[in-house]
Structure 1
Amino acid sequence: MGQNEFVKLITPFKDKVFRLARRLLLSTDEAEDATQEVIVKLWNNKNVLDDYRNLEAFAMTITKNYCLDQLKSKRAGNLKITHTNYEDSNASLDKKMENFDSLKWVEKIINKLPEQQRIIIQLRDVEQYEFEEIAKVLNMNETAIRVALSRARKTVREFMIKTNNYGIK
């Protein structure tokens, strides 16, 4: 497989790899490094890539494992989730500020979720992966993924209701 063929294979999901890495690591720089590492690993294994039915799922699995290894070696338990690609250009300034505040609260809540739930929310709600694809990436069954996603969403929902009804905690 040549370089051009390889680039064509990874281009459709390279941004997803970066977003997952950014979701798990503390900084954009670290996420860029992780993305580069994943691409290098894929390139080094390009001769066997044809054997994988779902290259994107394989790349996401490598990304998840690489990021978790980085976190374990440097700062276990100190994860940060950042989601900054939300923008409504037609909204009023008040609505934009309200959306920004809500997004920041959701980020804060997601930061407190268990690691597995954070990954599942990223893959399902942000990246729009199907449950079958998430199951491949996380090596879990679909029922367990649905349960973890439901619990994560419930936690976020309950905290937001509590915050909106009783004020900021």
Structure 2
Amino acid sequence: MELQEFKTKVLPLKDRLFRIALSMLKSTEEAEDALQDVMAKLWAKRDRLAGYNSIDALAVTIIKNQCLDKLKSIKHKHQLDIQEMEFDSGFISPQRKIELSESMQLMMKAFEGLPEQQRLLITLRDVEGYEYDEIALQTGLAVNNIRVGLSRARKAARQAYLKETSYEGI
């Protein structure tokens, strides 16, 4: 694979790979490092990329493994890197902004409490929009296992969110 073909087939994946890395590592800097390492690995394998059914699936598998290695090699502090939320639906009152921000923080907390595999499945399906068969290629899981994992992840996240938002005794 020549440079121009690499630019057209692999470089468009970088935003998706970054989002996956960011969701797993919770740090912009670490996600950028992981993405850079994966791009270097893909460049090193450029002559063999034509032999893969899906370069997309290969890239996601490599970024997932890179992030898991990073998480195993360091004591990862679960920090939530939330940048200022933008609201483009017109005027929103300051109170509503605070409510939305708090709600987002609670949802992220519920999401972070999920096991790594469930977070990955939600990211691939609900954030990235992959189909079940594409997720199966990337994770090595059976489609039925993916469906069950997603169902359990969504249910657990919903319960954790509702537990945080309910006010017992009222």
Common topology (TM > 0.5): yes
Question: What is the CA distance between 1:26 and its match in structure 2?
Answer: 3.7
Corresponding residue of 1:153 = 154
* TM-score, length-scaled by structure 1: 0.88
Corresponding residue of 1:137 = 138
Question: What is the CA distance between 1:96 and its match in structure 2?
Answer: 2.9
Corresponding residue of 2:112 = 111
Structure 2 unaligned blocks of 5 or more: none
Greater Cα radius of gyration, structure 1 or 2? 2
Supply the AA of the counterpart residue of 2:140: N
**More helix by proportion, 1 or 2?**
1
Question: What is the CA distance between 1:112 and its match in structure 2?
Answer: 1.1
| Distance in 2, Cα, partners of 1:125 & 1:37 | 25
CA RMSD between the two structures:
2.1
Over 3 Å counting, the alpha-carbon distance change for 1:61 and 1:11 in structure 2 is same
Supply the AA of the counterpart residue of 1:135: A
Supply the AA of the counterpart residue of 2:38: V
Question: What is the CA distance between 1:160 and its match in structure 2?
Answer: 2.2
Corresponding residue of 1:36 = 36
Aligned pairs for 1:18-167 (under 5 A) are 18-75=18-75, 78-79=77-78, 87-90=86-89, 92-93=92-93, 94-166=95-167
Supply the AA of the counterpart residue of 1:18: F
Structure 1 unaligned blocks of 5 or more: none
| Distance in 1, Cα, partners of 2:162 & 2:79 | 23
Identical aligned pairs, as a percentage?
42
* TM-score, length-scaled by structure 2: 0.88
The count of aligned residue pairs is 166
| Distance in 1, Cα, partners of 2:49 & 2:103 | 41
Residue pair 2:28, 2:81 contacting (<8 A) in 1 also: no
| Distance in 1, Cα, partners of 2:39 & 2:45 | 10
Residue pair 2:110, 2:158 contacting (<8 A) in 1 also: no
Corresponding residue of 1:6 = 6
SS in 2 for 1:107: helix
SS in 2 for 1:59: helix
